[in-house]
Amino acid sequence: LGLYGFGGSAHLCAQVALAQGATVHVLTRDPAARRLALDLGAASAAGAYDAPPEPLDSAILFAPVGDLVPVALRALDRGGVLSIAGIHLSDVPSLDYERELFYEKEIRSVTSNTRADARDFLALAERHGVRATVHPYPMSQAPEALKDLKAGRFDGAAVLVDDGGPWR
């Protein structure tokens, strides 16, 4: 399994996949996220545009970067599936059929999760001991948390905590 991008959702997904016996390769721009991936048990962690050390059976694109779609498709083995997990994705460049789609490769998009999906995931996460890596921000610093998220200034997930602000 290849994971492209390694933020809040991907680092949880990696733990579940590893607990279920998958070999996980993480491809992401952030060195801190690569270290976290290796600490969690990923077989490898490299730059987002690098090739994984072996062909992938499947990949999930968490990064909202359309330029990574052909990169991830080239990393797939025959019959591999690329799932695009984000709600937002920048434009996907033209694909070269022979290099990126040939050999029955698939692209799948996903929809928003339902409450039932969330309950199922939380039960699975509890069963496998999944733990989120979090970086708390006071609610009053929400804009800074978003800026830091966009700039890749932390691994894992940002969590907003109540600091007694006026939104109560």
For the chain of 168 residues, list the mean pLDDT of each consecutive stretch of 10: 95 96 96 95 98 98 96 98 91 95 93 87 92 91 89 84 74
The CA distance from 134 to 149, in Å, is 12
Domain ranges of the chain: 2-132, 134-168
Question: In the Cβ-directed half-sphere of 137, how many Cα atoms lie within 13 Å?
Answer: 17
pTM attached to this predicted model: 0.87
* pLDDT tens-digit map of 84-99: 998 889 999 999 999 9
The pLDDT assigned to 167 comes to 58
The pLDDT assigned to 166 comes to 66
Question: In the Cβ-directed half-sphere of 150, how many Cα atoms lie within 13 Å?
Answer: 6
The values of phi and psi at residue 44, to 5°, are -155, 160
DSSP readout, 74-129?
HHEEEEEEEEE--S--PPPPPP-IIIIITTT-EEEE--PPPHHHHHHHHHHHHHHT
The pLDDT assigned to 164 comes to 80
The pLDDT assigned to 112 comes to 75
Residues 2-132, CATH architecture: 3-Layer(aba) Sandwich (3.40)
